Structure 1
Amino acid sequence: MTGELKVDVDPAEAGFDAERLKRIDRHFARYVDKGLLPGFLAVVSRHGRVAHLSAYGKRDVETDAPVETDTLWRVFSMTKPVTSVAAMMLVEEGLIDLTDPIARWLPEFAEPRVYVKGSALRPVTEPATEPIRLWHLLTHTAGLTYGFMHSHPVDAIYREAGFERGMPAGADLAECVRRWAALPLVFQPGSEWNYSVATDVLGRLVEILSGKPLDEFFAERIFGPLGMTDTGFFTEDADRVATIYTPRPGTGQIVPAPAFDGWARSRPDSLSGGGGLVSTAGDYRRFTQMLVRRGELDGVRLLGPRTVDLMASNHLPGRADLEEFGRPVFAESPMHGHGFGLGFSVLEDPVKAKTLSSAGEIAWGGAASTAFWVDHDEDLTVEFYTQLLPSSTYAIRPQLRQLVYQALVD
């Protein structure tokens, strides 16, 4: 599976109708041709082989640089499953248990306070009745949040502390975690779901437990073994990095987003396990192939099969979906029918979700409209890459699911 990313199986042999697969290209090419996306790359794999590969448009419109199979993409929150795998590797080694309070290693979380009422300037808080445990971080049920979501007074407290998008300049990961621990939680740990910096805190735990900076652990234990040679927290090959765009208000026509241009082009002060990686389609596909093979790829095993199965289970209480158990979140599609596992969403009910996907599908995406999913029932992985902020601009992910599954005919 190593080497250049290319189609290596006839679509029919992989159970696809080749003409129907071409609908993927035509559909998203229209976005590009209308100036709504800069370009895109899509990869559909089944039974370990690439059945469809689309590359269209530009990685940089201003320089006319095309999307290529080795283009580097800022995958933002697609970093989260990588960090979650790293944490579960340490669980398998007996260094931490899913039910362990994180304050054992991060004493700044020993006495968290929980928001009860009031404004961001004068919040009323109470002590947490439950310690934050490892599984809370993995499932986004710890009570942490993101400043950019603008849906709760604690979000505003995060912004005031310097956490709107990214980390404050000069603050390393340990310092960021200390600052988060001093801020109120949105709710009592384990009582709700809220998308958050929990995976960044998880990355700090990986550093403490392993005794290595997060980039070193990733390189030595995940990227090196899987042959992900182009993935990291920054790259020196700046010419291959796709430019990030955002829609112009009123017209939707894309314009560069210069505030994000420096991301991934130099080593960051804080190694974000929640959103810091840059990768290629070929590299990230190797990660998804490891997941669909339940922890192993090309003779290299990162996780045991039962561990991957546990990660791919819905851990929300009562197997609730995100619509029931979650809070309003910045997302491009409804959360009906989707639960959450240890590091990614889990499709609990395809009918409720109104999707052709299989129950048990695991998935996640990034802020710049990248996305992936893994369907164990169909032995299928799909990845999509572009660079458009925010990911809620268009319904790219549900449209892609529809286009992939309508082409699956065996």
Structure 2
Amino acid sequence: MRGLEGVGETLRGETRGKRLCRCLAAVAGLALLSACGTLTTWEIDPASLPAGPSDLTEQVDKIAAPLVTQGETPGLIVGILLPDGTTRFFGYGTTGQPDGVPPGPDTLFAIGSLSKGFMGAIVATMVQDGSLSWADPLATLLPPGTKLSPDAARITVEQLATHTSGLPRQPLDTTVLTGFVSYLFTGENFYQHLDRDAVLAYLADFTAPGEVVPRYSNIGYGLLSHVASVRSGRSVDDLLAERITGPLGLTRTGYVAERLPGYDVRAIGHAGDQPKFILRGDTVPDWRFTDILRGSAALYSSARDLLSFAAAHLRDDDTPLGRSLADAVRVRTPRPRQAAAVAWIADDVLGLHITYQVGIVAGYTSYLGIDTAHHTAVVILQNAFNWDYSAGHALLKILATNAAYPS
């Protein structure tokens, strides 16, 4: 149990009750952090879906409104892309701002790991223009003098992008565990120490697991963003603007929320399923990520921008960007159930084959799903941390069942 020694240092001087709570939280946290290293999904009971065709607003209300009325989240925005290319937006609850208004299509939310979809798209454009190859290994990509174990040296760009590098979600060391225990009580970012030096140092002694399967990795995407920046000589912010948000006209998507339109009326994050020792519905701090983890989880965006991003993946667009986005959603590691594309998960849900991403960070939950067969997409942004993202899957099923919904 050497990983808990540092936690013991932080417990000195506390009451026995507080020590017990924190020790239990540490053990639970270790289990949670280990368990979260895999890609997951939620099962949906088909009987819970609205039966038969009806008005689209009524169908969305039945799925989304209970999340607010039952106290799962203070507010949320649902965005839907219909087969004819039109969009619909449905806001519920409140942004958490003093005016108490529901979130709208342009309300800013932290989107957590949906950031990886944008970073994967950036890298796909670099592969398209020849500045990177999916087969490039870290040994040839990182600056000279970077210490890499043999296993780390062999990790390729594609493995980083598809979560098949063998890297864990984050290093399970004393610092991470201590930070996670603190997070359970404060909501503060437990990744804040994972800067470039810490992540690169981890690679010096990295040993890959025996069987390399999709294993969700925040530090893997941090490395991917670092590689893109090193190879291009551009910051991650510049790469995003030049290669994705600029060409697609996404004006409310960026890594620095304060620079985006609507920052003052953004959705405020709240506790939900986590942090465990903060009351559900209480506000929690925004997270700020280090340089290397920016491309992994630091983006803010809006429902309108995210639907535009999804729509760009559905176009038959024979341009460099169009080919790059098509490449990003191409399945690389077929599996009996889930399969890994670049940042996206391909899965069979409720009789549909869908491609989706989920982001959970600080006090926010985000979902973006695409059904290529029916040319539809769904985005759901909540201003609370909740594990269950099945509402997005359910809405894609409803759209497939009622493919002729009018705009």
TM-score by length of 1: 0.72
Q: Does 1:366 align with 2:359?
A: yes
Residue in 2 that maps onto 1:145: 168
Deviation (angstroms), 1:270? 4.9
**Separation in 2, partners of 1:129, 1:248:** 34
Corresponding residue SS for 1:224? helix
After TM superposition, the structure 1 stretch with the greater mean CA deviation from structure 2, 245-254 or 49-58, is 245-254
CA contact (8 A) 1:42 1:383 kept: yes
Q: Which amino acid in 1 is paired with 2:280?
A: I
Residue in 2 that maps onto 1:77: 113
**Separation in 1, partners of 2:74, 2:351:** 28
**Separation in 2, partners of 1:71, 1:158:** 35
Deviation (angstroms), 1:240? 2.1
Structure-to-structure mapping, 1:59-74, within 5 angstroms: 59-60=95-96, 64-74=100-110
Residue in 2 that maps onto 1:254: 280
**Separation in 1, partners of 2:232, 2:75:** 39
CA contact (8 A) 1:39 1:56 kept: yes
**Separation in 2, partners of 1:161, 1:303:** 42
Deviation (angstroms), 1:314? 2.4
Q: Report the structure, 1 or 2, having the larger helix content.
A: 2
Q: Does 1:342 align with 2:371?
A: no
Unaligned runs of 5+ in 1: 1-15, 113-126, 148-153, 322-336
Q: How has the CA–CA distance of structure 1 residues 287 and 57 changed in structure 2, closer, same or farther, with 3 Å as cutoff?
A: same
TM-score by length of 2: 0.73
Corresponding residue SS for 1:273? helix
Residue in 1 that maps onto 2:393: 398
**Separation in 1, partners of 2:197, 2:278:** 38
**Separation in 2, partners of 1:33, 1:129:** 48
Residue in 2 that maps onto 1:242: 267
Greater RCO (Cα-Cα under 8 Å, separation 6 or more): 2
Aligned Cα root-mean-square deviation (Å): 3.2
CA contact (8 A) 2:151 2:206 kept: no
Provide the identity percentage. Answer: 21
Q: Which amino acid in 1 is paired with 2:282?
A: P
Deviation (angstroms), 1:157? 5.9
Residue in 1 that maps onto 2:237: 215
Corresponding residue SS for 2:321? coil
Q: How has the CA–CA distance of structure 1 residues 106 and 62 changed in structure 2, closer, same or farther, with 3 Å as cutoff?
A: same
Residue in 2 that maps onto 1:31: 67
Q: Does 1:195 align with 2:231?
A: no
CA contact (8 A) 1:102 1:134 kept: yes
Q: How has the CA–CA distance of structure 1 residues 407 and 133 changed in structure 2, closer, same or farther, with 3 Å as cutoff?
A: same
Q: Does 1:135 align with 2:158?
A: yes
Q: How has the CA–CA distance of structure 1 residues 252 and 261 changed in structure 2, closer, same or farther, with 3 Å as cutoff?
A: closer
Aligned counterpart for 1:315 among listed residues 313, 328, 332:
332
**Separation in 2, partners of 1:221, 1:18:** 40
**Separation in 2, partners of 1:20, 1:252:** 36
Deviation (angstroms), 1:160? 5.5
Structure-to-structure mapping, 1:240-389, within 5 angstroms: 240-247=265-272, 254-258=280-284, 260-261=285-286, 263=288, 269-270=291-292, 272-294=294-316, 301-305=319-323, 307-316=324-333, 319-321=334-336, 337-347=337-347, 350=348, 353=349, 355-357=350-352, 359=353, 361-367=354-360, 368-389=364-385
Q: Which amino acid in 2 is paired with 1:382?
A: V
Q: Which amino acid in 2 is paired with 1:312?
A: V
**Separation in 1, partners of 2:380, 2:374:** 18
Corresponding residue SS for 2:126? helix
**Separation in 1, partners of 2:251, 2:160:** 28
Deviation (angstroms), 1:59? 0.9
Deviating above 4 A after TM superposition, structure 1's stretches of 4 or more consecutive aligned residues are: 107-110, 160-166, 248-253, 267-271
After TM superposition, the structure 1 stretch with the greater mean CA deviation from structure 2, 225-234 or 375-384, is 375-384
Deviation (angstroms), 1:162? 6.6
Counting matched residue pairs gives 338
**Separation in 2, partners of 1:338, 1:220:** 32
Q: Report the structure, 1 or 2, having the larger strand content.
A: 1
Superposed CA deviations along residues 181-239 of structure 1, whole A, max 9, x for unmatched, are 24534525x72221002111111111111111100111122111111111111222432
Q: How has the CA–CA distance of structure 1 residues 269 and 180 changed in structure 2, closer, same or farther, with 3 Å as cutoff?
A: same
Q: How has the CA–CA distance of structure 1 residues 87 and 295 changed in structure 2, closer, same or farther, with 3 Å as cutoff?
A: farther
After TM superposition, the structure 1 stretch with the greater mean CA deviation from structure 2, 248-257 or 58-67, is 248-257
CA contact (8 A) 1:99 1:135 kept: yes
Corresponding residue SS for 1:256? coil
**Separation in 2, partners of 1:48, 1:252:** 44
Q: Which amino acid in 2 is paired with 1:144?
A: L
Q: Does 1:184 align with 2:206?
A: yes
